[in-house]
Amino acid sequence: MAKRRLTERQKRQISANKNQKATATGAAQHNGIVITHHGKELIVRSDTGETLSCQLRQNLGTIVCGDRVVFEYIDPNSEPRSGIVIALAERRNLLQKSGFAGKAKAVAANIDQVIVVCSLVPKPNSYLIDRYLVAAENLPARPLIIINKIDLLDEQNEHVVNDINAIYESIGYRVLETSATRNTGIDELQSMLVDSTSILVGLSGVGKSSIVKDLLPDIDIRIGEISQASSEGKHTTTVSTFYTLPTGGNLIDSPGVRDFSPIDLDREQILKGFIELKPYRGSCKFANCSHTNEPGCAITEALEEGKVNQQRVNSFRKMLADTDA
């Protein structure tokens, strides 16, 4: 007999029931945030600043970096102390991507700002940038685009920077040029991270780790604290990790990817993600317009009149095609 899958509402109810039972037995409860995880082991930072390894009770569902949780100590007198996560607080949002066999893979939760990092080497992938922007708009979270390794700028790749700035700043996105080796743009980036939880996303090799090191001078100490709390005895970069910035705000460093696809977005959500195309919603001649080759398509007409960018419309149409596939 197939195992019955619990709905999200049922999972929350089970979590609440367990929370009530724990209260009834007098067990002390504490609040914290998940800063990373290794398999079934969560590393939690309590609201008092303690970092500890926690087990996860069943039926709480997937818990990820950035989640707020309630936990109990297994033995408050042991060293190092460990705990059990007994409840998950309601999320503001959850960033997910398409994982193995197209299944949803959660990346991080409770995000205010998505920072899409590209670089001059490897060359930026406009379709990847657009997919991240669509995911950010649907969380919702503020998007920021970073062009890193700007110290490698020369006559051969100058057009790359100019194109990105021209396309994305014209529709209202902030584009920041940085160089971790020259500390270019890092102070400005720091000011944009205050009072928010931001996540760095992008391809492997774009220099996210170098940016994190510039923002967190004591990164080795922080990684050491996480490794000490983990039963694995080490910290890897294959999972997202939550850091509190000394200058204010929080930063989630996500592992580099080879590709990224938002999960479970319908056609309306994709249109919502292309902010410059939203004014044309509902203006097509046919209600079921696919925005490709139908007569009277408002987006096609806007493209022909030069009101929207060809590359962005190409990304929009490709996302629609990928969703329908």
Stated pTM of the model = 0.87
pLDDT number for residue 64? 94
The CATH superfamily assigned to 8-88 is: Nucleic acid-binding proteins (2.40.50.140)
Q: Is 167 exposed, middle or buried (0-12, 13-18, 19+ CB in 10 A)?
A: buried
Is the distance from CB of 172 to CB of 142 less than 8 angstroms? no
* Domain coordinates in residue numbering, the chain: 8-88, 94-253, 267-324
pLDDT number for residue 22? 44
C-beta neighbour count of 55 within 10 angstroms: 14
| pLDDT per residue of the chain (325 residues) written in tens, 0 to 9 | 444 555 555 555 555 554 444 444 456 899 999 999 877 789 999 999 999 999 998 889 899 999 999 999 998 888 889 999 999 999 999 999 988 777 888 999 999 999 999 999 999 999 999 999 999 999 999 999 999 999 999 999 999 999 999 999 999 999 999 998 898 999 999 999 999 999 999 999 999 989 999 999 887 757 667 766 765 544 445 689 999 999 999 999 998 887 898 888 999 999 999 999 999 999 999 999 999 889 999 999 999 999 999 999 999 999 999 887 6
Q: Compute the distance between CA of residue 298 and CA of residue 305 in angstroms, rounded to an integer.
A: 11
Record: fold of 267-324: Ribonucleotide Reductase Protein R1; domain 1 (1.10.40)
The pair of structure tokens assigned to 114 is: 């998505």
pLDDT number for residue 8? 59
Q: Compute the distance between CA of residue 226 and CA of residue 107 in angstroms, rounded to an integer.
A: 18
What Cα–Cα distance (Å) separates residue 247 from each residue in 47, 214, 218, 300?
19, 12, 13, 46
pLDDT number for residue 6? 55
CA atoms within 13 A on the CB side of 4: 5
Sign for the CA dihedral angle at 278, 283, 287, 292 comes to negative
Helices (H), ranges, the chain: 8-24, 126-138, 158-169, 186-191, 208-215, 219-229, 267-273, 298-304, 310-324
The CATH superfamily assigned to 94-253 is: P-loop containing nucleotide triphosphate hydrolases (3.40.50.300)
Q: What 3-state class would DSSP assign to 131? A: helix
pLDDT number for residue 268? 92
pLDDT number for residue 79? 85
